[in-house]
């Protein structure tokens, strides 16, 4: 009387006693026992949950690096390429996300043209700061997670649902983060119910923390956030918000050695994406070059960039140098 789904397959959430916090770091594994994949009994709306029960080896953050000689992260971990600064600003009916292009390994520049801003689904985007390789896996898993839910359930997750899902994934990486493989995302999206852009930030233990108006993460985030604070105006157009983000990235690159400014000689410009009611859009190379040119031209005249009015009540400078 053998039922077709009971042939020694583990059920959904086979390791149900593992908390979500330990996702992916499982002793022994259900997926490596040599049985053909049995998807019929293992379906879940969450792709990450499915991976956890089916082949936990594919989840990011599974490998626990040993500590270095001094008890801190080993030299090898410190020398991995790290992604740096991401900025986000809410604009009229949407949100803008931008990132510089540099990855550093210790004091070396590991890569000049890395991309750290991604589409996560039609109405959301994410960027990350921290260990590049872990970040890439995060982005891939999160993209599949959102699409998988949408296909399984026939509807998209709410924006908060997506933000919470990402928090769960970040927390799953906590053990690896303690060993030095830190990665922190910045998540933005268009909330269809409220017709506005929203920003969610995270720490290594999860989150999400909803941010108002603008935010930035990564090594240059202090400088970028300071610049955005002075340039940001409520209800900016998407174009103005993008320009403010590029100004902020320029200021971050100005003062933080790990953040790269626009590279005019190699023509490498920040990656800028907008998420509005029309969905995710990554600005073309020409468009981001245009913003970078505007900023660089302005800095030729005023190296510290546009100034904000000293006394409140004066009209804002609008961010155009």
42 touches other proteins by CB under 8 A: yes
Q: Is 104 a catalytic residue?
A: no
Burial of 1 (0-12, 13-18, 19+ CB in 10 A): exposed
The least CB distance from residue 42 to other proteins, in Å, is 7
User: Which is nearer to other proteins, 8 or 36 (by Cβ)?
Assistant: 36
User: Which is nearer to other proteins, 46 or 237 (by Cβ)?
Assistant: 46
279 touches other proteins by CB under 8 A: yes
What torsion do the CA atoms of 278, 282, 288, 290 make, to the nearest 10 degrees? -30
Q: Report strand pairing: 271-276 vs 279-282.
A: antiparallel
Q: x/- site string to other proteins, residues 85 to 124, per CB under 8 A?
A: ------------------------------x--xx-xxx-
The least CB distance from residue 7 to other proteins, in Å, is 8
281 touches other proteins by CB under 8 A: yes
The DSSP line for 236-299 is --HHHHHHHHHHHHHHHHHH-TTS---BTTTTB--EEEEEETTEEEEPPHHHHHHHHHHHHHHH
- The answer to whether 53 and 30 have CB atoms below 8 angstroms apart is yes
3-state secondary structure at position 138: helix
Among 92, 113, 147, 160, binds other proteins (CB under 8 A): 147
3-state secondary structure at position 4: coil
The least CB distance from residue 311 to other proteins, in Å, is 44
Residues in Cβ contact with 313 at an 8 Å cutoff, skipping those fewer than 6 apart: none
User: Which is nearer to other proteins, 47 or 269 (by Cβ)?
Assistant: 47
Q: Which residues are catalytic?
A: 84
Q: Which residues bind other proteins (CB under 8 A)?
A: 1-4, 36-37, 39-40, 42-43, 47, 50-51, 54-55, 58, 115, 118-119, 121-123, 136, 139-141, 143-144, 147-148, 150-152, 154, 156, 278-282
């Amino acid at each position: 009387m053998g039922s077709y789904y009971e042939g020694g397959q583990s059920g959904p959430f086979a390791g149900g006693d593992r908390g979500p916090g330990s996702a992916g770091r499982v002793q022994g594994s259900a997926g490596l026992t040599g049985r053909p994949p049995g998807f019929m009994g293992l379906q879940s709306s969450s792709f990450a949950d499915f991976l956890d029960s089916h082949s936990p080896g594919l989840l990011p953050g599974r490998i626990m690096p040993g500590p270095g000689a001094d008890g801190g992260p080993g030299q090898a971990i410190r020398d991995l390429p790290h992604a740096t600064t991401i900025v986000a600003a809410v604009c009229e009916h949407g949100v803008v996300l931008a990132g510089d292009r540099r990855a550093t390994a210790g004091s070396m520049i590991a890569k000049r043209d890395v991309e750290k801003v991604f589409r996560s689904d039609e109405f959301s985007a994410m960027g990350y700061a921290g260990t590049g390789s872990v970040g890439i896996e995060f982005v891939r898993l999160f993209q599949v997670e959102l699409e998988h839910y949408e296909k399984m359930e026939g509807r998209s997750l709410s924006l908060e649902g997506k933000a919470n899902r990402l928090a769960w994934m970040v927390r799953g990486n906590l053990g690896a983060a303690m060993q030095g493989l830190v990665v922190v995302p910045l998540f933005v999206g268009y909330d269809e119910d409220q017709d506005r852009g929203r920003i969610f930030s995270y720490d290594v233990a999860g989150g999400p923390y909803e941010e108002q108006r603008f935010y930035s993460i990564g090594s240059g985030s202090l400088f970028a956030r300071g610049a955005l604070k002075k340039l940001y105006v409520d209800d900016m157009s998407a174009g103005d918000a993008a320009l403010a983000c590029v100004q902020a990235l320029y200021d971050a690159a100005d003062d933080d050695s790990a953040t790269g400014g626009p590279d005019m000689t190699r023509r490498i410009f920040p990656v800028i994406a907008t998420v509005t009611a029309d969905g995710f859009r990554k600005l073309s190379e020409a468009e981001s070059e245009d913003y970078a040119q505007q900023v660089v031209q302005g800095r030729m005249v005023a190296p510290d960039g546009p100034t904000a009015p000293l006394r409140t009540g004066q009209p804002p400078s609008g961010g155009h140098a």
